[in-house]
Structure 1
């Protein structure tokens, strides 16, 4: 897959192409349907297929106070889109200047060089242009006048009849319902960060944990203990993950920033500080709580580890 990081990166005089356009945060099964339909059209027309997305999310620029947690930062999002099989990815920097482009101008940009769209596929709730004035119906009307084929597949629904959306997935993640998002994403929800030094308490108890420094805008599950899979450059391991404030060791008045600590069940003990690690969430095990003693905490961790091994051994979700 060829990735372009701005419209200016696109070569002039390139081929016409089929576009799938969207924010695609999460690259969930609904997004996959949009991109998949674009790939079908591209194959039928003998053209390359390009996914066009925006960085950061438009709402982060337009209404920063309402910025939601990010399900997939651009690096992971790019990997997921590439795995779907598209030929090209265009990441458009979303700025206040870009947000002021009128809907008509945005549509014209799609059919003009260097984009040169022959067909466009978007979600049925896609909006574009200044103030979100552009709708899929407007884009289709424009397309009829400019020989641009426009499609908007119906929204994908889960087995319970509810539409699949990034907003719904974020709400489930925020309340710790990570198992419920697996069929919506088509994989486990993940966060990624760098392994940093902690306070060493886990190592002293015989349960060394990897402390993860993750981007502040990540969609992090709520406080609690989770069965997970940890993915490092050198391999993967089942992991018991605590998200919280370590109340057994931290005074109540000092508890503020949430920390993610992962106990890797099958790690060989090698140094992983400074390495990137991805955590895939399988299921929530329990609330984080204060124990009367380190020994009581250790006994509970042993129970957690047994449950993690059971769940990680039976996980069937595709790898992210």
Structure 2
């Protein structure tokens, strides 16, 4: 809060975890942006780090669809003026609904309007709801703009995205997200087994950000630090053909430049891996020869899907 300039307001504000930044989130943030433009105000989203569930029930907190840095980059692309990331702690969660709104929205951001859905909850024990916000707005001097979910067969949600990714259904995940699901992280050294088979891969670090989809082979893209986007066949899993391999995400870049096929090196780079279509599940082959034959077919299928 102390990093918010004193003269930053007035603001149109919304709040949420925005995990995955799916189409529902984008609709809300679009309304914030449009409402701010009408009022000559700043458009601001308030989010939390870590996810509140990790503080209140760490043993059952949902896996995060994307990391904080990726989320902030995606929110910036939507044209917001600012995102306020508040550290979420038990002390912070102990604020009453009125204390939270007064401290953050009014004193901190000089909110002239708050954009929320009818199911929004806030304050200690989630005691504040939509009607609470309307009442506080009347008392503290800001308007409340409601975002309705009507008109959709199923409500856009982070839960829906997680369900799809757990099934390897990256097509449905992309429909809910409004873009393909991605993971990001550093390229690390693996067992070099792909290189031995003629398919050298970029292995994502185990602490990479983003949900790992269901095991299988996917057509997708790899974006390197220079911003170049390479078509790739992506393997997710433990590779059952070989014993003792831990679960990993690795991408084989196709269409490498001819002059640098041998020295094409992504080690240490922070990359983004984008999942477009699941080609197949993981299969234990009788030996390397059958696996190599299948990998050649995977590359052919990836080329066809990516065009």
Normalising by structure 2, report the TM-score.
0.94
In the alignment, does 2:202 pair up with 1:202? Answer: no
Within a 5 Å distance, the mapping from 1:162-241 to structure 2 comes to 162-215=154-207, 218-234=210-226, 235-241=228-234
1:138 corresponds to which residue?
132
- Superposition deviation, residue 97 in structure 1: 1.2
**Could you say which residue in structure 2 is the equivalent of 1:71?**
65
Residue of structure 1 aligned with 2:298, choices 304, 307, 316: 304
Does the CA-based 8 Å contact 2:106-2:140 persist in structure 1?
A: no
Of 10, 18, 35, which aligns to 2:12? 18
Aligned residue in 1 for 2:97: 103
CA RMSD of aligned residues (A): 1.5
Pick one of 236, 244, 247 that aligns with 2:240. Answer: 247
SS of residue matched to 1:38: helix
Is the Cα contact below 8 Å between 1:140 and 1:150 reproduced in 2?
A: yes
1:157 deviates by 5.9
User: d(CA) in 1 for partners of 2:213 and 2:145?
Assistant: 35
Instruction: Indicate yes or no: 2:280 matched with 1:286.
Output: yes
CA contact (8 A) 1:13 1:114 kept: no
- The 1:122/1:88 distance shift into structure 2, 3 A limit, reads same
1:308 partner SS: helix
Using the alignment, how far apart are the partners of 1:217 and 1:199 within structure 2?
21
Distance in structure 2 (CA, Å) of the matches to 1:214 and 1:82:
27
Structure 1 residues 217 and 193, CA gap change in structure 2 (3 angstroms): closer
In structure 1, distance between residues paired with 2:187 and 2:213? 18
How many residue pairs were aligned? 301
Taking structure 1 as reference, are residues 94 and 111 closer, same or farther at Cα in structure 2, changes over 3 Å only?
closer
Q: Which runs of 5+ in 2 are unaligned?
A: none
Select which of 229, 243, 248 maps to 1:259.
Answer: 248
TM score, norm. by length of structure 1: 0.90
